[in-house]
């Protein structure tokens, strides 16, 4: 029996896991970034800013300067031998549960600041390469009759293999749909805020209950509404439409 080859742990910045979507295909699962990168195993470096210890699960929240993310360890091997303030490297698989993206820890260890800088440099180089692919994609889209022709152009111009080219095209299509769906979701939440506002604003807890959205999803949508100037917070925990 031939063993499945272990996926390479990609050096990433945590913000990459903010702009993408988690996909499942049978027994396989991966995170598809907005730049068209399929990510399953990752290597991240950041500072431990929170730690939780339970009976069968421990978790760390790490911050790499671009974003924060929880890293979880389960079962008898759950113990994470690091503390708040430690600069650590985490290797693990990207997972999703209840709308939350997290890393299932395989290995965690303390590292030096020099290791952090080298990690960041390598991750930025990888992102620059992905942005070049995205740029070529946008250049060739108007020139190609269909997706197959566009995929052929990407493979020829950039030397991408079949899987990488398909991932880039899938991300381009999925995120175009997501922009449209995101606008619809913002409109839905804004309409609900207006409905619940009886003059002094809408309680966030009531909005969460009535929206039926995961807390992480609602938080993202409300943040977008605040950033766009469509709502404001007259006091903590209260949202009011403009």
Tokens of 240: 């009011």
Residue 24 pLDDT: 83
- pLDDT tens for 46-64 read 999 999 998 888 999 999 9
Q: Is 89 helix (H, G, I), strand (E, B) or coil?
A: strand
Tell me the average pLDDT across 30-58.
92
Sign of CA dihedral 108, 111, 117, 121: negative
Q: Given a cut of 80, is residue 88 above it in pLDDT?
A: yes
SS (HEC) of 16-67: HHCCEEEEEECCEEEEEECCCCEECEEEEEEEEEEEEECCCEEEEEEECCCC
> Cα–Cα distances in Å, from 92 out to 32, 84, 86, 103?
16, 20, 18, 6
Backbone angles phi, psi at 22, to 5 degrees: -90, 125
- Reply yes or no on whether the pLDDT at 21 is more than 70: yes
**Overall average pLDDT of the 94-103 stretch:** 90
User: What pLDDT does residue 3 have?
Assistant: 45
- The CATH class of 9-112 is mainly beta
**Over 70: is that where the pLDDT of 210 sits?**
yes
Give mean pLDDT, residues 67-96: 90
Residue-level pLDDT at 126: 95
Please identify which residue in the block is written with the tokens 């207006």: 194
Q: What is the mean pLDDT of residues 175-194?
A: 75
Are 185 and 221 spatial neighbours (Cβ–Cβ below 8 Å)?
Answer: yes
Burial class (CB in 10 A: 0-12, 13-18, 19+), 228: exposed
CATH 1.10.10 domain extents, the chain: 183-241
Residue 126 or residue 7, greater confidence: 126
Percent of the chain's residues with pLDDT above 70: 91
Q: Where in the chain do CATH 2.40.50.140 domains reside?
A: 9-112
Closest CA to 37 of 160, 132, 167: 167
Between 79 and 123, name the one with better pLDDT.
123
Q: Which fold has domain 183-241?
A: Arc Repressor Mutant, subunit A (1.10.10)
Contact 46, 92 (CB under 8 A): no
Greater confidence, 37 or 21?
A: 37
pTM of the model: 0.70
Taking the CB of residue 224, how many other CB atoms lie within 10 A of it?
17
Q: Which pLDDT score, from 0 to 100, does residue 1 have?
A: 40
What is the chain's length?
242
The gap between the terminal CA atoms of the chain, to the nearest Å, is 63
Lowest mean per-residue pLDDT among 13-17, 19-23, 45-49: 19-23
């Amino acid at each position: 029996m031939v063993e499945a080859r272990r996926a390479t742990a990609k050096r990433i910045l945590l913000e990459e896991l903010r702009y993408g979507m988690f996909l499942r295909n049978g027994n396989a699962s991966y995170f598809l970034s907005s730049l068209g990168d399929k990510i399953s195993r990752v290597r991240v470096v950041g500072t431990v800013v929170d730690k939780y210890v339970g009976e069968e699960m421990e978790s760390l929240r790490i911050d790499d300067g671009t974003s924060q993310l929880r890293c979880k360890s389960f079962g008898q091997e759950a113990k994470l031998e690091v503390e708040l303030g430690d600069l650590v490297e985490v290797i693990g698989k990207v997972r999703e549960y209840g709308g939350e993206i997290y890393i299932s820890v395989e290995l965690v260890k303390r590292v030096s600041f020099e290791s952090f800088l080298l990690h960041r440099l390598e991750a930025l180089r990888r992102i620059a390469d992905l942005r070049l692919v995205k740029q070529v994609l946008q250049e060739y889209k108007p020139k190609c009759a269909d997706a197959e022709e566009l995929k052929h152009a990407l493979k020829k111009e950039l030397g991408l293999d079949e899987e990488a080219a398909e991932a880039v095209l899938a991300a381009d299509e999925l995120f175009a749909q997501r922009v449209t769906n995101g606008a619809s979701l913002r409109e839905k939440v804004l309409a609900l805020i207006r409905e619940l506002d009886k003059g002094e604003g809408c309680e966030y807890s009531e909005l969460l209950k009535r929206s039926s959205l995961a807390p992480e999803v609602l938080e993202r949508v409300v943040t977008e509404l605040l950033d766009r100037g469509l709502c404001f917070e007259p006091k903590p925990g209260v949202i009011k439409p403009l």
